[in-house]
Structure 1
Amino acid sequence: MMELRFQDGDASRIVAELVGRETERCAILWASHVALPGLDRLVVSWIEFPTDDNYSDRSRISAQLKPDFIAQIGKRAARENLSAIFVHSHPGSTPPEFSEIDDDGETHLARFMSVRVPHTVHGAVVVSAGGWCARRLGEKTMRVVSVGPRLQVLFDADGPSGSTPLKFDRQVRALGGCRPKIS
Structure 2
Amino acid sequence: MSYYDVDAILTDAQKVPCTFEITVPGLGYLEGNPGNDIKQGAKLELPLWLGEMLAVSRNASEESNLTLDLPKCLSAHVVNALKADARTVELRALAPHFYALGARILDLFEDEELSSVLSESFKKRAREIADQAHNSGRSLGDAADFLRGLDEEERQLFRTAHESTKAVRVWMSELKKA
TM class, shorter-chain normalised?
Answer: under 0.3
TM-score for both structures, normalised by structure 2: 0.27
TM-score for both structures, normalised by structure 1: 0.26
Structure exhibiting the larger radius of gyration computed from Cα positions? 2
Larger RCO, structure (CA 8 Å, separation 6 or more): 1
- More strand by proportion, 1 or 2? 1
- More helix by proportion, 1 or 2? 2
